[in-house]
Amino acid sequence: MKFLDTAPRFLFFTGKGGVGKTSIACAAAIHLTGRGRNVLLVSTDPASNVGQVFGITIGNTITAIPAVEGLSALEIDPDQAAEAYRERIVGPVRGLLPDDELRSITEQLSGSCTTEIASFNEFTELLTDSDGPVGQFDHVLFDTAPTGHTIRLLQLPGSWTDFLTAGKGDASCLGPLSGLDKQRDLYAGAVAALADPQRTRLVLVARAQRSALAEIARTQRELTVIGLTHQYVVINGVLPASAGDCDPLAAALHAREQQAISDLPGELRSLPLDQVELKDTNIVGLEALASLFDSAAGTPDADEETALDLADAPLAALIDELAAAEHGLIMCMGKGGVGKTTVAAAIAVALADRGHPVHLTTTDPAGHLTDMIHGSMETLHVSSIDPAEATRAYRDHVLATKGAALDDQGRRMLEEDLRSPCTEEVAVFQAFSRVIGESRHKFVVVDTAPTGHTLLLLDATGSYHREVARQLGDRQFTTPLMRLQDPDHTKVIIVTLAETTPVLEATGLEEELERAQIRPWAWVVNNSLAAAQPTSPLLRRRAVAELPEIDKVRSGHAQRVAVVPLLAAEPVGIPALEALTGSRAAAP
């Protein structure tokens, strides 16, 4: 593996949920110990399963892995880190501020910004500790690197505590950032370590899928802008050609993956690249990890006894129920790479086939709705919200209104905060809010809607919803947030894959939404091998492994579930999207 050649002390593995970061990181750790190195494996993933992979309980202290000489592991619990971080900020003012202000501050510190910064706070010491316990290790491997979003937050230079105390702040990241001043030098040292190619290597992990490769290309650009340029690419789970010998589905999937690799985005072509073949079982246990980087040596016979029939959960059943409402807002949400765009486009096309006026839009900067639809329909309008344009307009508006009343220092601080990545989230929500009004008389289908974190920011800071309530008093009013919280008006659909990490991440999204008083209406399990009923032994074994995850969604998270099969060809174009839902046959 190229990414392990002359490996520096720190290796960071980053990528979207479900691409196999943990497996790659664990296998890399075992490989390095085989060279006689002492290795510390650190997970900052909220869905960490490092302990499960090694069959041992790992907590927030350095724990030796008995079966692998020279290997130790550590799991940073993001929830515990965030709670401790909140207490450091809220504790000193508890009893000094009114209860409603304390609740507002605590709620503002409940979003993903706080969790990211708190996790970074935990492993900053690992990056800078050369004399303590970490100093004994030749390599420190991080499963889940800090995102460009986190690092941009840490690079903001303002004195946030003073700004908050003066009562001048009402912007997006002030809560999470208000605790940073005392450790800013330490953070600067950590960020410098990340940017030093002699000390740090970033490994971008993806699957051989067009959307997943586009996601890491975006990550590559984002990290390069902030100085993290020493990057490698690992494409995990590549289907071997032999899997398609007797299965047309497997043969088509292999061809599709090879085409995606051939069409690798330009930013990634210049980077060192490794491919890891798909194995027939989940990568759990030392034997599986030790052989992960080896080529497949053959596949055991598949379990022919396990039924894979999931025909009772078609996407068409959800669309029938949606269509009965005649209008409304439909939001397809989920982590990157799960197929939100496909699901949103299929729903929009199906509703348009039934004669309903439909507006399909996206807030995803990498969204390609026009390419996905690849055609036109009389009752379907397709648009996109440009995050860069929305952010520019939002900044100009805030500076012209709130900024007009500030002194020079306050205005400088406001300008700094408006350069934070959270500003884009709020700006996109405000642009999206203007679209919400259309859903009173037509269907509006949104691909990649604002996260629960964004909604919490808007409500906790009192920026829009509470300001309207204050100005209108007892008069009736409806804000965009209220429409999102109305289950009769808004249907939130969480899209996931039938794999452990994507389901855990979707669960986290569900919790964020519920904190914003938004209850998901349905879940869609996308690209399911079990629903596709493959005959290839390798794919059939992986299909069987999906069943417990699908049952988990059905029994623990959703009253309504649809399972969409993995298709031989990507569903691009109106006819393919109609075939996905059977909508043409159902149309009047």
Contact by Cβ (8 Å): 143, 206: no
Which of 501, 528, 536, 581 is labelled catalytic?
Answer: 501
Residue 166 lies in a domain: yes
Two structure tokens written together for 575:
């006819």
Rounded Cα–Cα distance for residues 509 and 505 (Å):
6
Pair 123, 208 in one domain: yes
For residue 381, the cross-strand partners are 359
Q: Per-residue pLDDT for 532 more than 50?
A: yes
Lowest mean pLDDT across 93-102, 359-368, 379-388, 547-556? 359-368
Which of 21, 168, 279, 335 is labelled catalytic?
Answer: 21
Look at residues 385, 338, 422, 380 and name the one whose alpha carbon lies nearest to residue 154.
Answer: 422
Domain that holds residue 570: 315-586
pLDDT at 459: 54
Rounded Cα–Cα distance for residues 237 and 282 (Å):
11
Give the mean pLDDT of the chain. Answer: 81
Q: How many domains does the chain have?
A: 2
Rounded Cα–Cα distance for residues 230 and 221 (Å):
12
Contact by Cβ (8 Å): 34, 67: no
Is 244 marked active-site? no
Phi–psi pair at 510, nearest 5 degrees: -60, -40
Pair 284, 359 in one domain: no
Pair 339, 274 in one domain: no
Residue 506 lies in a domain: yes
At 448-465, the pLDDT tens digits run 755 655 565 555 444 444
Q: What is the mean pLDDT of residues 408-418?
A: 78
* End position of a domain, from candidates 239, 274, 290: 290
Residue 295 lies in a domain: no
pLDDT at 155: 61
Pair 451, 569 in one domain: yes
Which of 14, 22, 391, 536 is labelled catalytic?
Answer: 22
pLDDT at 256: 92
182 class by beta-carbon count within 10 Å (0-12 exposed, 13-18 middle, 19+ buried): exposed
Count Cα atoms within 13 angstroms, Cβ side, for 508.
20
Pair 285, 352 in one domain: no
pLDDT at 588: 47
- Per-residue pLDDT band for 112 (boundaries 50, 70, 90) equals low
Is 181 marked active-site? no
Rounded Cα–Cα distance for residues 147 and 581 (Å):
36
Which of 23, 72, 114, 362 is labelled catalytic?
Answer: 23
Rounded Cα–Cα distance for residues 549 and 556 (Å):
10
Is 245 marked active-site? no
Contact by Cβ (8 Å): 48, 75: yes
Two structure tokens written together for 234:
């690992």
91 class by beta-carbon count within 10 Å (0-12 exposed, 13-18 middle, 19+ buried): exposed
Pair 49, 87 in one domain: yes
Is 159 marked active-site? no
Which residue carries 């609740």 as its tokens? 103
Say which residue, 275 or 57, is predicted with more confidence: 275
Q: What is the mean pLDDT of residues 8-33?
A: 89
Pair 86, 18 in one domain: yes
Contact by Cβ (8 Å): 116, 22: no
Q: Per-residue pLDDT for 41 more than 90?
A: yes
Contact by Cβ (8 Å): 27, 289: yes
Q: What is the mean pLDDT of residues 571-584?
A: 86
Which of 15, 20, 70, 179 is labelled catalytic?
Answer: 20
Pair 270, 411 in one domain: no
Residue 308 lies in a domain: no
At 542-566, the pLDDT tens digits run 999 899 999 999 998 888 999 999 9
Q: Per-residue pLDDT for 304 more than 50?
A: yes
DSSP state of 364: -
Q: What is the mean pLDDT of residues 5-22?
A: 87
The CATH number that applies at residue 539 is: 3.40.50.300
Residue 417 lies in a domain: yes
Pair 469, 533 in one domain: yes
Is 280 marked active-site? no
Contact by Cβ (8 Å): 124, 187: yes
Rounded Cα–Cα distance for residues 451 and 472 (Å):
27
Rounded Cα–Cα distance for residues 218 and 206 (Å):
12
Residue 546 lies in a domain: yes
- Per-residue pLDDT band for 130 (boundaries 50, 70, 90) equals low
Is 18 marked active-site? yes
Lowest mean pLDDT across 1-5, 47-51, 335-339, 516-520? 47-51
Residue 300 lies in a domain: no
Is 22 marked active-site? yes
Two structure tokens written together for 411:
């205005």
Pair 579, 464 in one domain: yes
pLDDT at 456: 54
Pair 241, 376 in one domain: no
Contact by Cβ (8 Å): 376, 349: no
Contact by Cβ (8 Å): 233, 271: yes
Look at residues 156, 159, 164 and name the one whose alpha carbon lies nearest to residue 182.
Answer: 159
pLDDT at 426: 73
In sign, the C-alpha dihedral spanning 232, 223, 145, 126 is positive
Pair 251, 346 in one domain: no
Which of 15, 16, 33, 45 is labelled catalytic?
Answer: 45
Residue 201 lies in a domain: yes
Which of 15, 17, 18, 237 is labelled catalytic?
Answer: 18
pLDDT at 429: 75
